[in-house]
């Protein structure tokens, strides 16, 4: 058991990222039942629908699961409305994850409801602020991760900085996690566990578009690129995606509608350069859409059910990691003493 597993009631110290268009109720419940931290993406869901989705998950698993909010996209007021709708539906032991720092009112609402608050950050300053908001767990996102990037440091360096500043904090790393060996390495470096997103995109219960799933399984690390192209709906935040025809040209195409996605029987148009990822209800020019993917895709090779993926992770982790009563503080592992990589340079386009 690590402190992450102990704090959130997990059998495996692994959180599934709350990815929009990917992490619906079926994936969240399946990961939870398997013993990891399944997470439901609330993203831009209206409060009433968000509450209904939480009820679906709660009915499908007796184990802990989480919901994920994105305050910088919804804004603090809408984020608080989402939480006011879902907090009464969350069972005891459920947790709330926030991508980026939440508003103080949001943090207070989660804590007042008795649920652990998990905050994902990308800098040491954000880690300080998140702990000040009462975070029970910090997720430290490195630039290896897929999706929108919160900082400019590789995961190893960010972990070393935050662990040195906060030796007793419960820390998970995000970016580069696709095997149980990756998870064991992260714990050996001083983490209490990890969060994985790319790993879960292709699994059977994911709601990612079939083309998105196929491309992740086929991709290698260098097939991903950090860009700022897909900014409509989520500006000012660089992101790691799989390359496509838009990322490989310097000429900008018109931001016209290229696809539609169906949610609750309603069609929603998607413009070129939208931040939306293609889900299983998306039709149109899916290949031009943002397919968020981390460098760990090199080691993501199958589309099994989530239970099979989590079981494999658990077996690999147990064989690679010597059990400890608690997670270490600042690591004395020789790997952690190697010269740390430099911050990545992100080119805005």
Whole-model pTM? 0.92
197 and 125 in a single domain? The answer is: yes
Whether residue 230 contacts residue 237, with contact meaning beta carbons closer than 8 Å, is answered with: no
b (16+ CB within 10 A) / e for 40-54: bbbbbbebeebbbbb
Structure confidence by residue, pLDDT tens digits, 123-174:
999 999 999 999 999 999 999 999 999 999 999 999 999 999 999 999 999 9
Structure confidence by residue, pLDDT tens digits, 189-213:
999 999 999 999 999 999 999 999 9
pLDDT at 322: 59
Q: Tell me the two tokens of residue 298.
A: 């090199």
- CA 110/CA 96 separation, integer angstroms: 7
Beta-carbon contacts of residue 338 (< 8 Å; ≥ 6 apart): none
312 and 266 in a single domain? The answer is: no
26 and 70 in a single domain? The answer is: yes
Task: Count the domains in the chain.
Answer: 2
320 and 261 in a single domain? The answer is: no
181 and 224 in a single domain? The answer is: no
266 and 286 in a single domain? The answer is: yes
Of the candidates 201, 221, 220, the residue with the CA atom closest to the CA atom of residue 210: 201
Tokens 């943090």 found at: 107
- Give me the domain span that covers residue 247: 210-296
Of the candidates 288, 121, 165, 270, the residue with the CA atom closest to the CA atom of residue 215: 288
227 and 146 in a single domain? The answer is: no
CATH of the domain at 180: 3.20.20.70
Beta-carbon contacts of residue 45 (< 8 Å; ≥ 6 apart): 53, 82
- CA 18/CA 39 separation, integer angstroms: 5
Structure confidence by residue, pLDDT tens digits, 33-90:
999 999 999 999 999 999 999 999 999 999 999 999 999 999 999 999 999 999 999 9
Confidence of residue 342 (pLDDT cuts 50, 70, 90): very low
């Amino acid at each position: 058991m690590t402190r992450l597993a102990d704090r959130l009631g997990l059998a495996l110290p692994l959180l599934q990222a709350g990815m929009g268009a990917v992490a619906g109720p079926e994936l969240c419940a399946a990961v939870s039942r398997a013993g990891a931290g399944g997470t439901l993406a609330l993203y831009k869901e209206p409060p009433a629908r968000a509450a209904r989705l939480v009820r679906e998950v709660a009915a499908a698993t007796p184990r802990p699961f989480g919901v994920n909010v994105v305050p910088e996209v919804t804004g603090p007021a809408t984020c608080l409305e989402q939480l006011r709708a879902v907090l009464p539906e969350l069972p005891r032991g459920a947790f709330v994850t926030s991508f980026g720092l939440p508003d103080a009112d949001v943090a207070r609402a989660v804590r007042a409801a008795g649920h652990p608050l998990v905050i994902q950050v990308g800098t040491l300053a954000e880690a300080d602020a998140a702990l000040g908001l009462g975070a029970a767990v910090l997720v430290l996102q490195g630039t290896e991760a897929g999706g929108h990037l919160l900082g400019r440091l590789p995961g190893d360096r960010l972990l070393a900085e935050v662990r040195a500043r906060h030796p007793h904090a419960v820390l998970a790393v995000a970016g580069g996690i696709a095997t149980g060996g990756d998870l064991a390495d992260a714990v050996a470096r001083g983490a209490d566990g990890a969060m994985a997103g790319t790993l879960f995109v292709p699994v059977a219960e994911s709601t990612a578009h079939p083309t998105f799933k196929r491309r992740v399984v086929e991709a290698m690390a260098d097939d991903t690129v950090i860009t700022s192209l897909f900014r409509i709906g989520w500006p000012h935040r660089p992101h790691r995606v799989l390359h496509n025809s838009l990322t490989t040209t310097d000429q900008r195409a018109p931001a016209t509608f290229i696809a539609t996605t169906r949610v609750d029987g309603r069609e929603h148009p998607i413009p070129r350069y939208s931040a939306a990822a293609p889900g299983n209800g998306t039709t149109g020019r899916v290949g031009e859409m943002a397919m968020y993917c981390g460098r760990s895709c090199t080691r993501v090779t199958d589309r099994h059910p989530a239970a099979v993926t989590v079981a494999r992770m658990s077996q690999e982790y147990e064989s690679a990691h010597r059990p400890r009563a608690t997670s270490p503080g600042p690591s004395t592992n020789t790997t952690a003493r190697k010269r740390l990589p430099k911050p990545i340079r992100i080119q805005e386009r």
